Amino acid sequence: MTLSSHTSNSKHNMEDFNHPNEVGFSDPKEEEDLNDNSTGDELLLSLSPPPLILTHSPPTSDLLFFPIFQPNHQNIVPQPHEGTSPPEGTSVHQHDDHSPHQTRHRRNGPRTALDEIISPPFAWATDRPATVHTIKYLLDNNIHIISGEVQCKRCAFRCNIELDLQSKFWDIKVFINRNIERLYQRAPKEWTNPVLLDCKECKQKNCMKPVTPSNLESINWLFLLLGSLLGCCNLEQLKYFCMHNKQHRTGAKDRILYTTYVTLYKQLDPEGNFVGCTIQQLLHSASNSIQEGIIS
């Protein structure tokens, strides 16, 4: 193709563009509508869309009724206005965030020794478990002899032993006052391994052991104290005594035994200043006891 032919063809195309009726536009109105639409499209393309603005809308009424869907929600209790009272059947609870935590209290508190009353098993025992009268009360009521039952570990021979109240109490008092500082709240050998009496029936030495009943309420505590026989009690019996006297009852047996001795001694002499009689009277009562066959 030559340059002249290419020029003629482009000229012919320009003529076709200048005469729209020849390319399919039979009506001039259609040409005007087409021009209007193209102008509108150009305007829409030239305008940029408005920016999106994010705003926080207030919570709807549904969220107010269901606070579980709100983050960091708090149960808000409506307060009544002044001069008004809350409706019947509703209660308003106010919580103080700064108040200390309330402790739970037992409905039924633990029973203590003062809650239990028993029938005194002996004349020198009170109506409280594991408790004896004071020595002043006993002497004022003419109780001078404390008796108890012992049994031979070999032949099972049983007999009653009588102890003089004042002389035996004096022995316990002197021993405690002399050795209280070196005991360190532990029972000494004299208490943990007491020397027992000899059996009159089989002649066995150091074999007469005190009889302790299975009923713990009937234990003869004063007889065991005056005879220095508390070491013959088992751990359960000693803990029973400490429990009813509000004493610490855990630990080794020598500690619990020490507590039992001291507590019983204080029951006899709460103020710690009882003398009762002179040394000569004590020696005289002890000699009379031996002559009368009372084992001391």
pLDDT score at 271:
87
251 alpha-carbon distance from chain centroid: 20
pTM above 0.85, yes or no: no
Is residue 210 a part of any domain in this protein?
yes
CA 200 to each of CA 72, 157, 289, 292: distance values in angstroms, whole numbers, following the listed order: 88, 9, 18, 17
How many C-beta neighbours within 10 Å does residue 267 have?
19
pLDDT score at 160:
97
Is residue 226 a part of any domain in this protein?
yes
pLDDT score at 246:
93
Domain span holding position 136: 117-291
Is residue 253 a part of any domain in this protein?
yes
Structural domain total, the chain: 1
Length of the chain: 296
pLDDT score at 22:
45
pLDDT score at 164:
97
Is residue 280 a part of any domain in this protein?
yes
Is residue 101 a part of any domain in this protein?
no
Q: Which residues of 11-37 are buried (b: 16+ CB within 10 A; e: fewer)?
A: eeeeeeeeeeeeeeeeeeeeeeeeeee
The answer to whether 121 touches 218, Cβ cutoff 8 Å, is yes
Residue 161 host element (H or E):
strand 158-164
Nearest to 262 by CA among 236, 238, 296: 238
What count of Cα atoms within 13 Å lies in the side-chain half-sphere of residue 241? Answer: 27
Is residue 213 a part of any domain in this protein?
yes
pLDDT score at 58:
56
Is residue 263 a part of any domain in this protein?
yes
Euclidean distance between CA atoms 115 and 148, whole angstroms: 28
Is residue 75 a part of any domain in this protein?
no
pLDDT below 50 — which residues of the chain?
Answer: 1-7, 10-26, 43-44, 61-71, 73-75, 92-93, 95, 99, 108-110, 113, 278-279, 281-282, 285-286, 289-296
